[in-house]
Amino acid sequence: MSEGVSSEPQTLSETEAEFEGLEVDAPLVGIVMGSKSDLEVMQPAEKELGERGVRCEVRVMSAHREPDKVADYAKNAKLRGLRVIIAGAGLSAALPGVVAAHTDLPVIGVPLTSRHSVAGGLDALLSISQMPPGVPVACVGVDSARNAAVLAARILGA
Ligand code: RP5
């Protein structure tokens, strides 16, 4: 039998493992953020990963305004070959936690300042770091998108 996806019945994890092997050009890191207004401050994450040769994709999706889109993205992330998700958000900053609720991939949250932030982004910092037991989100400093990328690369051993 030739190599490739087996036609035999198999478990979901076996299928996932085979597809992970096939998707050679798939991004390994997903960079998501709650608003287009977050793009500029999140850009250093994409830049850092690019310089390290780590494939990534960038998506805008709001946990509050587009909850179904966020859930679908997180649920399908592992099957699509993603290994780490970086999620930036400001204000109540639910995005990293909601992503972590729908995937067992490591999620790195980036608390962001925004024009409505209180205490310079402390609102987002607390929202992202105060996750309930069993649903972890790693949290870098306020507006520290580059550090999130460095941490993602270290998780990947890249
Ligand atoms: C958060 O609200 C976003 O991540 C952004 O930081 C903040 C403001 O969003 P916009 O009103 O600029 O779309 O959800």
If DSSP codes are grouped into helix, strand and coil, which group holds residue 108?
strand
When comparing pLDDT for 7 and 154, which is higher?
154
Alpha-carbon span 7 to 16, nearest angstrom: 14
Residue-wise pLDDT tens digits, 100-129: 999 999 999 999 998 898 889 999 999 999
Alpha-carbon span 128 to 109, nearest angstrom: 6
State the average pLDDT over residues 131-156: 98
pLDDT at 55 over 90: yes
Residue whose Cα lies nearest atom 7 of ligand 1: it is 90
State the average pLDDT over residues 14-25: 62
Look at residue 51 in the predicted model and tell me its pLDDT.
98
Residue-wise pLDDT tens digits, 64-85: 999 999 999 999 999 999 999 9
Residue whose Cα lies nearest atom 2 of ligand 1: it is 90
34 Cα to the center of ligand 1, angstroms: 6
State the average pLDDT over residues 128-156: 98
155 Cα to the center of ligand 1, angstroms: 28
Name residue 40's amino acid: E
Backbone dihedral angles phi then psi of residue 31, each to the nearest 5 degrees: -110, 115
- β strands within 63-132, DSSP E: 84-90, 107-112
pTM of the predicted protein model? 0.86
When comparing pLDDT for 7 and 86, which is higher?
86
Residue-wise pLDDT tens digits, 131-142: 999 999 999 999
What residues form DSSP beta bridges with 29? 56, 84
Q: Which two tokens stand for residue 143?
A: 């507006």
Alpha-carbon span 130 to 93, nearest angstrom: 11
If DSSP codes are grouped into helix, strand and coil, which group holds residue 118?
coil
Q: Kindly list the protein residues whose Cβ atom lies closer than 6 A to any atom of ligand 1.
A: 33-35, 37-38, 62, 89-91, 112, 114
When comparing pLDDT for 19 and 88, which is higher?
88
Mean pLDDT across the chain: 91
CB atoms within 10 A of CB 58: 17
